[in-house]
Amino acid sequence: MPSVGARCHELRVNDVDNTWRVIYRIDVDAIVILEVFPKKTGKTPKKIIDICKQRLKYYDSD
């Protein structure tokens, strides 16, 4: 998911009632889960993208 950052991806998980999305980044030593949410539209909401960017910024600063 280039809109979030480098090495970021979106995984779809189909459930009985929802289709869940997991946004994550693959690092050398970890897989960083940024957000898990039910997605009902074709486009990822800007609010979710902004939250993921903020979490990455916080994660990378440590």
Domain spans in the chain, listed from the N-terminal domain onward: 8-61
Pairwise CA distance, residues 14 & 9, whole Å: 17
pLDDT for the residue 41: 82
Q: pLDDT tens-digit profile of 16-59?
A: 988 999 999 999 999 999 999 998 888 899 999 999 999 999 99
In 1-62 the beta strands, taken as DSSP E runs, fall at 8-14, 19-26, 31-38
pLDDT for the residue 54: 96
Residue that is written with structure tokens 């189909």 in the block: 14
Higher-pLDDT residue of 62 and 14 is: 14
State the pLDDT confidence band at 1, using cuts at 50, 70 and 90: confident
